[in-house]
Structures are given as structure tokens and as C-alpha cells.
Amino acid sequence: MSKLDALRGKLESLGVDLYLEVYLPNIRYLTGFSGSNAFLFVGDSLSLFVSDSRYEEQSKGEVRDAEIFIYSTDVFECKERLPKKRLRLGIPEEHITCSFYKRLQEKLEDFEIVLVSDPVKEFRIRKDEDEIEKIKGAQSITDRIFTEILDIVEPGMTELDLAAEIEYRMKKFGAEKPSFETIVASGPHSALPHAKPRDVVIENETVLLMDFGNYYRGYASDMTRTVWVGKNPDREFVKIYDTVRRAQEKAEKEARPGMTGEEIDRIARDVIEGAGYGRYFGHSLGHGVGIEVHELPRISKTGKDPVLPGTVFTVEPGIYIPGFGGVRIEDLVVMTDHGVEILTESPKNLIKI
Amino acid sequence: MSKLDALRGKLESLGVDLYLEVYLPNIRYLTGFSGSNAFLFVGDSLSLFVSDSRYEEQSKGEVRDAEIFIYSTDVFECKERLPKKRLRLGIPEEHITCSFYKRLQEKLEDFEIVLVSDPVKEFRIRKDEDEIEKIKGAQSITDRIFTEILDIVEPGMTELDLAAEIEYRMKKFGAEKPSFETIVASGPHSALPHAKPRDVVIENETVLLMDFGNYYRGYASDMTRTVWVGKNPDREFVKIYDTVRRAQEKAEKEARPGMTGEEIDRIARDVIEGAGYGRYFGHSLGHGVGIEVHELPRISKTGKDPVLPGTVFTVEPGIYIPGFGGVRIEDLVVMTDHGVEILTESPKNLIKI
């Protein structure tokens, strides 16, 4: 069944005859289109992809399973291709602005506009083989970068320099771009889970946390490794590192299909709490990864849905001691029928450089 | 007058007592906050900045002229700080999703929610001295990159390699990130105004178009240069290059404060049409640049407002011959009391490399 057919099968339960998709990651998922302006109408006997003249050639090459309509000045020129009878048209309330909603009501005055909750984000959770191959491709670039970076890092370079070296290799190795802003954080700064790289020198004998990922053929990767710069890791650091690593590996080993995100999160959290660091692990264990680097499911205390085979997600526990530093270890994994397959190939032993 | 006071002075004409800003570029403009989650309430005697605990420290360091409220789980915890009486609350219809609008109506049930058109985008057009300094800083990084890149380009490297070399230098030279996806397009591919860099070798004796920019302290730059790779530029290419350059320089020379965007666009378009290439120049002459790389004003056929001193915008005519190639030359300029000051320092003579 095509992805569009799966959506088509859901229209009745949404209480609509037609659905208008405007969210570009969903449009990429449903049709393969990678440009920056598109609309997609889906009905029982309709699949109408709409874009502007900049994307005429590109959409012919990319768009699967839908008729293409190119407008010259106004997207609503496509109205001529829509059914003439009064229909209920569903639109995703999370992705439609109030001003576009008003325009829809004016321009498609024959339709009854119905706000629905994005029905596509749920479909996107479980990946097919082709999607998993793309994610593996993205992660293999990330792993290759990490290998090279280990040879480059040295005390005296700045966090910004190192971030530049990481991102430089993304395009060089065939990735499209970073999947989020690369994190390079050394010393006490590593205690901030979302640290931005600074124009600050990486010292000798200090912790260094690197969290990065890239897009490859439209799919994201995401990985974190924490290393020690120097020969003599601080004793507290070694203890924290060991705790995070045990938590991370236990969650990967014991996760099973059908467990909820909350249950998987709990495996790692129990290890960290058991070691007395519970209050220093404030974020979720992980999140889904695909066309977006943060997508469903939630692998956290609020993850109430079972994680089913085909789901790609991160496993990334961390311990962050304010003023001292932080450790996070993050793999990308895919749930299979038996447990998780780890897509990340970079080592997790404590690396000293 | 502070930027917040300017907005405050507009509330009455919007027909509201309070205004809720949710659009991050506007929040950055009004308060200086650079994070990824924030809300801002502005009233006659109220300036309330709202974010979550990740941004507690950062907002203390960045936010000007507003009280800071950090919520723990739900943004509407801030309700306790809002006036208790029934007020008209304006929200920007271009930036509010239908689902957030529904939540607002539920959570702020004592307020009358009024959809208004984004009132801040107009304020952002004319830059103050501090903003112009930041844009100059961004553009000077872009110029420095171009100088270095001229020494690196050679036939045999791929478009992707060259894009990687360009973006690598952004962070190295202190920029935050690209302000848009770097364009590197060689040969006939340069005829696509929004070409993506490909894993394709740059040939000898061919046209090479590079369009890139970066953020520096929150402000964007944007520049295009087209060069000839080889010693013997094609005669048609030379003629096109000369035409684009004359159009570009004439618009810069003759633009005056108070002219409309349409009038400035017309100066360059007349040169290109006069040379017989009118149908190959399909896009606008330029656009405003600031916190966003594309913002108001329009420097195009639809630019009906006068361009006043302090306005920063691009001047970027182009000629694109399908199957042959394209030339675009783009500077960043600021309108002054007498004409435009050119912020771009890279040369515009026909460079052969």
C-alpha cells in the first residue's frame, strides 16, 4: 500500500472527504518532493500535488503517485482541479496559520473546512526498508566524521573550530546539511544539554561532548559521544561516564517491541537513579528520527504508545553536573521483531585524546 | 525610543490592549533573545517575556526591557502575571497556528482574542546603527570567504566540495551558520536561480555561480558572484556578464531614498531589457535583509513602499539562459540620506580562475 493510500484510508475516520497537506516534511514523506513550497490534496479518487514554477522540473522528477499542478501566481488556481460539489476538507491544525485558514475559507468557499489533528505524523513513526537504508546512510556519514575528528581534536583549538571541522565533512562525505546545530561543549559548558559551540579554547585534561548529525537523501542522523581530552580523566568523570554507558547499553539491550517509550526510558533512568545521579538526568531518553531529526515517538516519561518494529529512535541518557560538566552517549537504533538494532558504529569505550 | 515602545505605540491603532508576539525573529528584534522557544506579551504597562527552564540563564543575559517569566510545563502558567480584567489581546495571524489559537481561546478565556497582521515586520525594515554594524560584520565574513575561495577553486573539484569549503569558513571566521543553503552552480546548471550544489565536477572553461551568506550576531549577509573557470570566457558569457554588471551598478548608483522598490527594480530591469535579455531575468531585483535573510521591503515590481534611510537590501539582477548558464551579481547595500552605501567589498570585474 502506498503512503498516500494509507492516508486515504484514514479520511473517513477523520470525518472528511478531502485532506489538504501543507506541512513540508509530511509532503516529502507522502510524495518524495524535497522543495520548499508545496500543497497536496488527497481524496478517494484524487491526489493533487501543487507547487510553483520554480519547482516544475523538480516535481516531475520527484513526485510519486500524484498529479502535478503548477500555479503561476496563486496556489488557489488549482481550484479548477478540485471536485465541484460541496465537500468537507480537512486541514492539519498544527500546521495551518490563522491567516492561511482565512484565505482557505474565502477561496474555497464551496468547501466546509474542518480542522483535524495532523494524521500523517503517526504514519511516519514506523519506517519501511527504503527509509531505514537512508537513515543508515546518514548515520554512516556521522560515524565516518567522528572517526576523522578523533585524529583532529587537540587542546588549543576552539569549540567553534571543531564544529566547523565536523560540519565541513558532512558535505564532503555526501550529506546535504546538518540535521541540527552541531553541539561542541568542553569543560563545565558540557553540563548544558543544548550548549552552543563557543569561540573558547578546548583545554587539556577536560571533558568534551560532541552531538551532531546530518541529512542524507532527506533523512536525518543524530549521535553524541563524550571523550576526555588528556591522559588523566578525572575520577568523578570516569564514574559518571561508566554510569551513562551502563544506562545506555542496558536500554539498548533490554528494549523490546511493544514496550512503551516510558518503559524504555525507565530502563536507563533506573540505572542512573540507582547510581545516585537521578536529579542530573533531566531530559528524555530519546526521540524518533526520520525526515525530521525530532519526530514521534516520545521515548520519555510521557511516551504512552508501544514502540513497534520499524521505529527509528535515539537512546541518549546523560548526566549533567552544573559547574563540573556533562556526559551524554547517544546511539541511533531501529526496533526490530526481537529488540533494537544499533545503527551507530562509533565506539563507546572511554576515549582519551 | 526602545523597539518595545514603538510597538506599544501601535496597539491602539491595532484595536487591542495587549499584544502577544510568538514569532522568534520578531522576539529577537524586540528583546534580543536568541533561543528557540519564547513568547512576549506587550501592553501599555506590561512587557512580559516567557520561556522555559532551558533558557533561564540565557534569557537573563539577553532579554532587554522586559520582565522574565520561566514556566515549568505549560506556557500558560504565565497567566498569573497578566492583567485580570477582560482585555482585547492581539495575536499575529501569519504566525499563529489554528491549534495554538484554539488553546489561547481555552486558556485565556477572560480575553477577547483578536487576529491582527504582524505589526513588527514593518518596524524591522529600517535598521539602527547597531543593526547595521552587525550586518556589516556578517558581510565582511562573507567577503573574506570569497577572497579565500578564489584561491581554492579549480576544475575537477565538485560543486559540493566547494560548498563545503565555503561553509567551513563561516564558523572558522566567527559566523554562527549559513543564512540560507549555499548555492554553487557550474555550467548550464547556473541557469537555475535556486540551484542546489551537486556531486558533479566543475569543468574547465565554464561559468561558476556562488551565492552564499551567513549569520553573525543574529544578522544575515547575502552575496552572489559569478566567475569564469578557465582562461577563455565564452563570448556570449562576457556579454551577459557585462550586461548584468551594468544593470547592477546602475541600480546602486541611481537609487535614492524615497524611491519605491519598484522604481529601484526598474533601473536594473531597463538595462537588461535594453540589451535584449528581459525575458531571462525572471526574479526580483532584491529583498530586505536583517534578522531574516529574506524580509521586507520588496525590491521588485510589487514594491510599492518608499525605501527609506536605514533600509538594508540586496541588489541582485541576473540573466539565465536555459541550457547555457546564468550570471547573477549581488551586493548588500544600505540606503542612506543620499543614496546607497555598498556593504559588499568583493570585486565585480570578470574574474578568470
Question: Is A171 in contact with B167 (Cβ distance < 8 A)?
Answer: yes
CA distance A63 to A2: 13
Buried b (16+ CB within 10 A) or exposed e, A326-349: bbbbbbbbbbeeeebebbbebebe
Q: Residue A1: its pLDDT value, please?
A: 77
Q: Which residues contact B151 (CB under 8 A, 6 or more apart)?
A: none
Q: Residue B310: its pLDDT value, please?
A: 98
Range with the poorest average pLDDT among A291-295, B109-113, B141-145: B109-113
CA distance B168 to A177: 12
Q: Which phi and psi (to 5°) does residue A151 adopt? A: -80, -15
| A177 contacts chain B (CB < 8 A) | yes
**Which has the closest alpha carbon to A224: A255, A238, A245, A201?**
A245
Instruction: Note the ipTM here.
Output: 0.89
Q: Residue A146: its pLDDT value, please?
A: 98
CA distance A176 to B160: 9
Cell numbers of B339, please? 543614496
Q: Is the model's pLDDT at A5 over the cut of 90?
A: yes
Taken in order A200, A203, A207, A208, the sign of the CA dihedral is positive
CATH code, B3-123 = 3.40.350.10
| B96 contacts chain A (CB < 8 A) | yes
Q: Decide: pTM greater than 0.80.
A: yes
For chain B, strand residue ranges (E) read 18-21, 39-43, 46-52, 67-71, 88-92, 112-116, 177-178, 183-186, 206-212, 214-216, 219-220, 223-229, 286-288, 295-299, 312-315, 318-321, 325-328, 331-335, 340-342
For chain A, strand residue ranges (E) read 18-21, 39-43, 46-52, 67-71, 88-92, 112-116, 177-178, 183-186, 206-212, 214-216, 219-220, 223-229, 286-288, 295-299, 312-315, 318-321, 325-328, 331-335, 340-342
**Chain B, nearest residue to A167 by Cα:** B168
CA distance A66 to B166: 37
Give mean pLDDT, residues A1-25.
95
Q: Which residues of A touch B93 (CB under 8 A)?
A: 97-99, 102
Question: Is A94 in contact with B96 (Cβ distance < 8 A)?
Answer: no
Q: Is the model's pLDDT at A192 over the cut of 80?
A: yes
| B97 contacts chain A (CB < 8 A) | yes
| B168 contacts chain A (CB < 8 A) | yes
Gap from A62 CA to chain B (nearest CA, Å): 15
pLDDT digits (tens, 9 = 90+) for B19-73: 999 999 999 999 999 999 999 999 999 999 999 988 888 899 999 999 999 999 8
Type of residue at B302 = T
Question: Is A172 in contact with B164 (Cβ distance < 8 A)?
Answer: yes
Gap from A167 CA to chain B (nearest CA, Å): 7
Range with the poorest average pLDDT among A93-97, B7-11, B90-94, B190-194: B190-194
Evaluate whether B159 touches B197 at the Cβ level (below 8 Å). Answer: yes
- Among candidates A115, A164, A197 on the partner chain, residue whose Cβ is nearest the Cβ of B168: A164
Question: Is A164 in contact with B177 (Cβ distance < 8 A)?
Answer: no
**Chain A, nearest residue to B191 by Cα:** A54
Q: Which residues of B touch A181 (CB under 8 A)?
A: 177
**Rg (Cα) of chain B, in Å, rounded?**
23
Examine residue B322 and say whether the peptide bond preceding it is cis (omega within 30 degrees of 0): no
Q: Residue B85: its pLDDT value, please?
A: 83
Q: Which residues contact B221 (CB under 8 A, 6 or more apart)?
A: B135, B138, B139, B141, B142, B179, B213, B214, B289, B332
Range with the poorest average pLDDT among A70-84, A262-276, B211-225: A70-84
Q: Which residues contact B160 (CB under 8 A, 6 or more apart)?
A: A171, A172, A174, B184, B197, B198, B199
Q: Is the model's pLDDT at B265 over the cut of 90?
A: yes
**Which has the closest alpha carbon to A329: A221, A254, A187, A224?**
A224
Gap from A116 CA to chain B (nearest CA, Å): 9
Question: Is B97 in contact with A97 (Cβ distance < 8 A)?
Answer: yes
Q: Which residues of B touch A54 (CB under 8 A)?
A: 193-194
Range with the poorest average pLDDT among A186-195, B132-141, B210-219: A186-195
CA distance A234 to A228: 9
Q: Which residues of A touch B95 (CB under 8 A)?
A: 97
Mean pLDDT score across all residues of chain B: 96
CA distance B185 to B188: 8
Question: Is A102 in contact with B95 (Cβ distance < 8 A)?
Answer: no
Question: Is A160 in contact with B177 (Cβ distance < 8 A)?
Answer: no
Evaluate whether A349 touches A248 at the Cβ level (below 8 Å). Answer: no
Q: Which residues of A touch B169 (CB under 8 A)?
A: 164
Gap from B153 CA to chain A (nearest CA, Å): 15
The residue whose grid cell reads 482565512 is: A102
Residues 136-165 of B with CB under 8 A from A: 160-161, 163-165
Residues 230-259 of B with CB under 8 A from A: none
Q: Which residues of B touch A198 (CB under 8 A)?
A: none
Could you tell me the residue ranges of all domains in chain A?
3-123, 129-342
| B86 contacts chain A (CB < 8 A) | no
| A96 contacts chain B (CB < 8 A) | yes
Gap from A341 CA to chain B (nearest CA, Å): 31
Angle of CA points B187, B294, A55, to nearest 5°: 50
According to DSSP, residue B93 is labeled: T
Q: Which residues pair with A306 in a beta bridge?
A: A260
β-sheet with A223-229: strand ranges across: A183-186, A206-212, A223-229
Give mean pLDDT, residues A36-55.
94
Q: Which residues of B touch A197 (CB under 8 A)?
A: 171
Q: Residue B86: its pLDDT value, please?
A: 83
Size of interface A-B (CB pairs under 8 A): 76
- Other C-beta atoms closer than 10 Å to the C-beta of A253 total 11
Q: Which residues pair with B32 in a beta bridge?
A: none
Type of residue at B331 = D
Q: Is the model's pLDDT at B163 over the cut of 80?
A: yes
| A166 contacts chain B (CB < 8 A) | no
Give the whole-number percent of chain A exceeding pLDDT 90. Answer: 94
Gap from B127 CA to chain A (nearest CA, Å): 27
Evaluate whether B19 touches B118 at the Cβ level (below 8 Å). Answer: no
| A217 contacts chain B (CB < 8 A) | no
Q: Which residues contact A258 (CB under 8 A, 6 or more apart)?
A: A306, A307, A308
Question: Is B93 in contact with A95 (Cβ distance < 8 A)?
Answer: no
| B349 contacts chain A (CB < 8 A) | no
Q: Which residues of B touch A194 (CB under 8 A)?
A: 54
Q: Which phi and psi (to 5°) does residue B133 adopt? A: -60, -40
Q: Residue B120: its pLDDT value, please?
A: 97
CA distance A42 to A40: 6
Give mean pLDDT, residues B329-333.
98
**Which has the closest alpha carbon to A328: A227, A220, A202, A199?**
A227
With 0-12 / 13-18 / 19 or more C-beta atoms within 10 angstroms meaning exposed / middle / buried, residue B246 is: middle
> How many helices and strands, by DSSP H and E, does chain A display?
10, 19
Say if domain B129-342 classifies as CATH 3.30.930.10: no
CA distance A320 to B314: 45
Q: Residue B104: its pLDDT value, please?
A: 96
Type of residue at B115 = L
